[in-house]
Amino acid sequence: MAKQTYSISDLASELDITTRAIRFYEEQGMLSPTRRGQERIYAPKDRVALKLILRGKRLGFSLAECKTLIELYDPRAGNRKQLDSMLELIAERRQQLEQQLLDIQQMQLELDTAEERCRTALKATGEA
């Protein structure tokens, strides 16, 4: 039985991304297809890596963080180290989002205060 492989267009179509994006991730060292002439041949591990990259991007991880997670994956040794790192990144991202939410709420309060002062000033001038 032949080992499953994928062309760049197979992956682009399946994952709804451009072939340029796939080539970019390859340039970053995150994918390592074999070559048959000019044709790129992607293995299942490249497909998994690409899915991890896309998931990481959706979660707000940097490319460097995604690359680290991919490099930690070792099917022979299990993926405990990768999962522990992923949990750490999730906790950090959650903390960043919570801080951003607090910052947004504070800014909304400041906007409310500024708006109220402007309305009060307009009323005082009789132009409201």
Residue 43 in domain: yes
Residue 109 in domain: no
Residue 29 in domain: yes
Instruction: Give the structural domain span for 65.
Output: 1-73
The CATH number assigned to the domain holding 22 equals: 1.10.1660.10
| pTM for this predicted structure | 0.71
**E strands present in 1-128:** 34-36, 39-41
Give the integer Cα–Cα distance in Å for 37 and 28.
Answer: 21
How far is Cα of residue 122 from the mean position of the Cα atoms in its chain? 46
Give the integer Cα–Cα distance in Å for 70 and 52.
Answer: 7
Residue 68 in domain: yes
Residue 93 in domain: no
Q: What is the pLDDT of residues 62-116, one digit of tens each?
A: 999 999 888 887 667 677 888 888 899 999 999 999 999 999 999 999 999 999 9
Query: Is the CB of residue 22 less than 8 Å from the CB of residue 32?
Result: no
Q: What is the pLDDT of residues 41-69, one digit of tens each?
A: 999 989 989 999 999 999 999 999 999 88
Residue 104 in domain: no
What's the total number of domains in the chain? 1
